[in-house]
Structure 1
Amino acid sequence: MKTFGTLLVVLFISFSINAQEFKFEKETIDYGKVTKGSDGDKVFVFTNIGDQPLIISRIQSSCGCTVPKKPEAPIMPGKKGEIKVSYDTKRLGGFSKSITIFSNAKNARKVIKIKGLVTKELSLEKEKSLLSDTKR
């Protein structure tokens, strides 16, 4: 029994030494107030802080209005990677969505989030742009 316990401890230590980790610059992206139909694309940037290539096997969003895109190639140790997220800004109202990342990291499942508010009003900058176009 002691041999089995020792083997289990050694296996756990060797697993955690070689475990992958990744660190996000931001774990939540706040779109703020955006107008209906505006660009809903954002990018989460992360760094592989492990000592082995990081492989993201799949990404799942909490609804069909959010489409994440995972990196296809492994992210090497010390290198940065990106997860692109596209939110459907044709849907009015507030939103808060989760994106779950499945990988070979020490914590195999990681959740990141997006949030914001889609309005039908023009933003102040768009109004200025439209006004300057009509004065020409």
Structure 2
Amino acid sequence: MSCKSDNTANNPANQATKVVTPGDGTAAPMGEGAVSNQEATGNPNETMTPTGPTTTMVLDKTEYKFDNVKEGDIVETSVKVTNTGKEPLVIVSCKGSCGCTTPKCPTTPIAPGQSVDVPIKFDTHGKPGSQSKDVTITANTVPAQTKFRIFGEVERVNKDKAN
């Protein structure tokens, strides 16, 4: 699956329910349920609805700006997710807004007060120019979806020139 080289994250159809801002911490938790550790390649608009008791979570940051990179590079980052509620935090899915953006969900519930890192990779192959991609984390929280954005500038590589 390949991504369009345009900025799909700005398309209203690709916008998440909520973007958590620093200190917000109002994202709600999901109930107990299945957890996927597969890298996301599906439609970010398809959502899994968590069931069971809800909790709250906070991200250590809401976005990551990468330095200028060359087309074809893989940008890697992570976001720390902390369960700030009283029930186990169950992340049921992590999806990128494009097949080129792949987060990896934890496979086990996160105990109250505990944190986990969610690694994220962005493949810049065929993506020259300004890029902005979203990762949607769906969990037993209210609202169920929380977004994290990765963005930066990708320098076009001229394939006709020898280095």
- After TM superposition, the score normalised by the length of structure 1 is 0.70
Q: Tell me the amino acid that sits aligned with residue 114 of structure 1.
A: I
Residues 63 and 39 of structure 1: CA distance in aligned 2, closer, same or farther (over 3 Å): closer
Q: Which residue of 1 aligns with 2:90?
A: 55
Pairwise CA distance, 1:74: 0.8
Q: Which residue of 1 aligns with 2:136?
A: 100
Check if 1:109 corresponds to 2:122.
Answer: no
Check if 1:84 corresponds to 2:119.
Answer: yes
Q: Tell me the amino acid that sits aligned with residue 92 of structure 1.
A: P
Q: Which residue of 2 aligns with 1:22?
A: 57
Q: Which runs of 5+ in 2 are unaligned?
A: 1-52, 158-163
* Structure with the larger RCO, 1 or 2 (CA within 8 Å, 6+ apart): 2
Counterpart pick for 2:69 among 26, 34, 40: 34
In 1, distance between residues paired with 2:156 and 2:139? 38
Contact 2:97 2:135 in 1 (8 A): yes
Q: Which residue of 2 aligns with 1:129?
A: none
Instruction: Give the number of equivalent residue pairs.
Output: 104
In 1, distance between residues paired with 2:150 and 2:129? 14
Q: Which runs of 4+ in 1 moved over 2 A?
A: 35-39
Q: Which has the higher strand share?
A: 1
Q: Which runs of 5+ in 1 are unaligned?
A: 1-17, 122-136
Q: Which has the higher helix share?
A: 1
Two-structure CA RMSD over aligned residues (Å): 1.6
1:64 counterpart SS class: coil
Structure number, greater radius of gyration: 1
2:142 counterpart SS class: coil
Q: Deviations over 1:63-111 (max 9, x none)?
A: 1111111111111111111211110122221110111111111221111
- After TM superposition, the score normalised by the length of structure 2 is 0.59
Check if 1:75 corresponds to 2:118.
Answer: no
Q: Tell me the amino acid that sits aligned with residue 96 of structure 1.
A: S
Residues 65 and 39 of structure 1: CA distance in aligned 2, closer, same or farther (over 3 Å): closer
